[in-house]
Structure 1
């Protein structure tokens, strides 16, 4: 009977990838915990924050930045609109997309949400000195860019 070959140990790069994914999952979980009392999911928060930061953004770009499909983004926007957190133009603009803006109520809610998320991010980096935080950010940007700038 043939022996089944065991996969080799993970490479240091694979271990780093797993660690980044575990960190992202923990960050997402903690963000969900602090946003829940405000009545927001992480995706809703990301949507509101992106609309605040990039007025006039297209629905396609909004979906990409929030890491959801266009269909999921449409459902998310409908829910935010029903809650009175966003307003969408009646008439579609270029590319048949309706512009989306935050309501004053959303701006107030977003301020509270940002403060809660900032506390989570602060806890995540509390043991790092400013130089280490800057270096970590530069390294993560380099990793992201290596994956997004290279073909498939």
Structure 2
């Protein structure tokens, strides 16, 4: 008889990720943002001028998906990008004042979710848990090469 799949680490990790994504989707919907849009705004707040490729890597989406995200944020006036680039094809994005305002409003909702997630792990185990997650991600990424 095969092992119960619900007892596997990957299954449990996927369940935790789905719960996090669902909570974030719900919280961000009230701010008119999706999770990739919010993540993009956060990254641009921390590192203005990132390219589409940089943002795609940082938000765990494809470059094609990030193009859609950036066009939507640009259409809403939340980011700006130059029409042309001085350096190849990269069009560095920056938050507008409206984008900063929307991010500031949404941030507390997302940070509240993150705080609940953090508090679910006993404080004395958090550093080890984070290290374990990093090692697990590296092990899986290494197996894809």
TM-score normalised by the chain length of structure 1:
0.84
Q: Which residue of 2 aligns with 1:3?
A: none
Segments of 5+ residues of structure 1 without an aligned counterpart are 1-5
Alignment-derived partner of residue 119 in structure 1:
112
Taking the aligned partners of 1:27 and 1:147, their CA distance within structure 2 comes to 21
Q: Is the 8 A contact 1:93 1:99 kept in 2?
A: no
Structure-to-structure mapping, 1:56-71, within 5 angstroms: 56-71=49-64
Q: CA offsets, 1:36-67, max 9 Å, x none?
A: 11100111101111222222222112112222
Structure 2: any 5+ residue segments left out of the alignment? none
Please give the residue correspondences for 1:1-152 in structure 2 after superposition, counting only pairs within 5 Å: 8-9=2-3, 15-150=8-143, 152=145
Once residues 113 and 59 of structure 1 are traced to their aligned partners in structure 2, the CA distance between those partners, rounded to angstroms, is 22
4+ aligned runs moved over 3 Å, structure 1:
none
Superposed displacement of residue 92, structure 1: 1.5
Q: How many residues align?
A: 145
- Max radius of gyration: which structure? 1
Structure 1 vs Structure 2 CA RMSD: 2.0
1:33–1:19 distance in 2 versus 1, CA, 3 Å? same
